[in-house]
Amino acid sequence: MKKIVNYLAPVLCMMTIMFSVASCNKADAATPAGQPVDLTYAAEKSLPSVVHIKYVQNSKVKTIDVQSDPFSDFFSDPFGGFFGGGNRGGTQKRQVQTPKRTATGSGVIISADGYIVTNNHVVEGADELTVTLNDNKEYSARIIGTDKTTDLALIKIDGKNLPAIVIANSDDIKVGEWVLAVGNPFGLNNTVTAGIVSAKARSLGANAVESFIQTDAAINSGNSGGALVNTRGELVGINAMLYSQTGSYSGYGFAIPTAIMNKVVDDIKKYGSVQRALLGIAGIDVKNYVDVQKEQGKEIDLGTMEGIYVDTVEDDCAASDAGIQKGDVITAIDGQNVKKMAELMEIMYKKRPGDKVTITYLHNKKEQKKTVTLKNEQGNTKVVKNADLDVLGAFFKEITDAQKKQLNITYGVEVVKVNGGKLKDVGVSKGFIIQKINGESIKTLDDLQEIVKEASKKEPVLYIQGIYPTGKKTYFAVPLQE
């Protein structure tokens, strides 16, 4: 469970823009006389759909840089160390054995064929994931896709006729409405706590995109990825964080609304990654901006106290196409009012590149409306897919100590076979050792995989530097898209 020790100061947030489809299936629940809500019904409906997730990260050997110890150098190599031939004042490469790590969290079954939603921080870096259902059946799970921006992940188990939860539209819940938090806090499986929706569209500054549902239902470590459900037992949010000054529950927890979750799941299933469209501004709530100006002795009149003050506008983006400038105030998107940044985040996150939106804003306190087409991080409206090593059409392995000594290098990944694919297209052949891609050092296969994925989202070209077994150094530019 992520912890927020204190509320963070308002920050300028770069906006992403998406589209969402949420299902809303209603179930009628009788309310017993004398009870304001039937919490037993909601618990019975939701408990079978919430799972326990065990995370395992195996022990690994890693090479790290450590500060050079002049006495260590002296004793291991007295002549080199004493007379300056060692690494005095520099760094040394050392191999360390990382310990095996285990952790637990929660997840929610969203389809009968085994798709489960949880938090990214529950599964990130896992070598093994074991899912235990409410009836104690165990399954191995695999990661389908993750999204750090929203702290969501989609995993899957091989099962049939699983108890999938009904997904409600989180936009419909109201402040003051009763909700249940269902999960596995502190290893106490199948735990249900009750409370109300304390606030909506809450931002804490922990993730790049946030519009949390705030609740006073108790959420603790292990609840991460669990369900926040309404009184009908329908999913309205994925529990993600607690607010605490002690590290344990002390009043408020926060859940990612299904309006955002559905978009993430849909994109991962269709495209393998979340499709982001940039609004292209950095901004802050108008109230927070005015408060800061007052503290500096300045009186500011923006024509409203609700909306998002625009601090910067990127070139060639939706906001600049709409004519928005620094100092303007965005008040609505597609006719839906936005009073603060978190509300704007949630609306925009439901959009995809290529969608058209109407932006309402104040310029010199006069209202303007412009309809524009949204673009992705690459400045176009194409679908951006995560590339993996398959797109390169080759097999790789980390270089040996003998290769390092022979070529006088300290790291690299060797191309051991080239089939069809991007590397063959640009002339990379077997034996070539990749050392850097887009300026980043490639020391392991994980480094290679990560840089290929990241490049596919942003600048879809790999600028590869490396060396052949003959000692010849060369450079290739490898486009990942046609």
Whether residue 119 sits in one domain with residue 209: yes
* Structure confidence at residue 25 (pLDDT): 39
Q: Residues 282, 368: one domain?
A: yes
- For 156-182, what is each residue's pLDDT tens digit? 999 999 999 999 999 999 999 999 999
The answer to whether position 85 is within a domain reads no
The CATH number for 123's domain is 2.40.10.120
Closest CA to 156 of 146, 169, 166: 146
Buried b (16+ CB within 10 A) or exposed e, 38-49: bbebbbebbbbb
Q: What is the pLDDT of residue 367?
A: 95
Please report whether residue 285 resides in a domain.
yes
- What's the chain's Rg over C-alpha atoms? 26
Judge if 330 and 301 occupy the same domain: yes
Q: Give the CA distances from residue 111 to residues 108, 155, 163, 235, in Å, rounded to whole numbers and listed in that order.
A: 9, 11, 8, 12
Q: Which pLDDT score, from 0 to 100, does residue 86 have? A: 44
Q: What whole-number distance in Å separates Cα of residue 117 and Cα of residue 187? A: 19
> Measured over all CA atoms, what is the biggest interatomic distance in the chain, rounded to whole angstroms?
89
b vs e for 371-394, b when ≥16 Cβ sit within 10 Å of the residue's Cβ? Answer: ebebbbbbeeeeebbbbeeebbbb
d(C-alpha 411, C-alpha 433), whole Å: 9
Q: Which domain holds residue 344?
A: 277-373
Do 287 and 270 belong together in one domain?
no
CA 21 to chain centre: 19
Mean pLDDT, rounded, of the chain: 83
Shared-domain flag, residues 269 and 296? no
Verify that 286 and 265 share a domain, yes or no: no
Q: d(Cα 157, Cα 112) in Å, to the nearest integer?
A: 10
When pLDDT is cut at 50, 70 and 90, the band that residue 38 belongs to is confident
Q: Which position has the higher pLDDT, 7 or 313?
A: 313
Cβ distance 155 to 145 under 8 Å? no
> pLDDT at residue 85 above 60?
no
The domain tally of the chain equals 3
Name the phi and psi angles at 271, rounded to 5. Answer: -120, -15
**In a 3-state reduction of DSSP, which class is residue 354?**
coil
Given a cut of 60, whether residue 21 has pLDDT beyond it is no
Q: For 201-231, write each residue's pLDDT tens digit.
A: 888 877 777 789 999 998 887 889 999 999 9
* Residue that the structure tokens 């009908």 belong to: 232
Q: What band does 74 get if pLDDT is binned at 50, 70 and 90? A: very low
User: Mean pLDDT across the stretch 440-462?
Assistant: 83
Percent of the chain at pLDDT > 90 equals 51
Pairing, β 61-67 against β 91-97? antiparallel
CA separation for the pair 164, 61 (Å, rounded): 40
* Residue predicted with more confidence, 469 or 81: 469
pLDDT tens digits for 92-105? 667 777 788 888 99
Which has more pLDDT, 111 or 63? 111
**If you average pLDDT over each of 92-96, 188-192, 379-383, 470-474, which comes out highest?**
470-474
Model confidence band, residue 64 (pLDDT cutoffs 50, 70, 90): low
Q: Is the pLDDT of residue 425 over 80?
A: yes
How far is it, in rounded angstroms, from Cα 431 to Cα 440?
20
Cα angle: 412, vertex 416, 420; to 5 degrees? 115
Residue 193 sits in the same domain as residue 337? no
For residue 190, tell me if it sits in a domain: yes
Q: Which of 54-63, 164-173, 297-306, 329-338 has the lowest mean pLDDT?
A: 54-63
Bridge partners, residue 398, by sequence: 413
395-417: average pLDDT: 90
- Average pLDDT (182-203) is 89
What lies within 8 Å, CB to CB, of 78 at 6+ separation is none
Tokens of 9: 């100061």
Is the pLDDT at 4 greater than 70, yes or no? no
Residue 401: helix, strand or coil by DSSP? helix
Q: Which residues pair with 116 in a beta bridge?
A: 109, 155
- Three-state SS for 342? helix
What pLDDT was estimated at residue 14?
37
Residue 310 forms part of a structural domain:
yes
Q: Are residues 149 and 246 in the same domain?
A: yes
Interatomic CA distance for residues 302 and 323, integer angstroms: 17
DSSP code of residue 48: G
Residue 423 — φ and ψ, nearest 5°? Answer: -70, -40
User: Pick from 274, 304, 331: which residue ends a domain?
Assistant: 274
Residue 19 clears pLDDT 70, i.e. is over it: no
**Which has the higher per-residue pLDDT, 190 or 169?**
169
User: 455 phi and psi, to 5 degrees?
Assistant: -65, -35
Q: pLDDT at position 414, please? A: 92
| 267 pLDDT higher than 90 | yes
Looking at the annotation, which residues are catalytic? 121, 151, 224
The confidence score (pLDDT) of residue 78 equals 38
Question: What CATH number did the domain enclosing 402 receive?
Answer: 2.30.42.10
Residue with tokens 């020790």: 5
Global confidence as pTM: 0.70
The one-letter amino acid code at 83 reads F
Confidence tier at 3 by pLDDT (50, 70, 90): low
Between residues 48 and 386, the one the model is more confident about: 48
What is the predicted pLDDT for the residue at 338?
A: 94
Closest to 127 in 3D by CA, of 97, 101, 150: 101
Least-confidence region, from 314-328, 369-383, 394-408 = 369-383
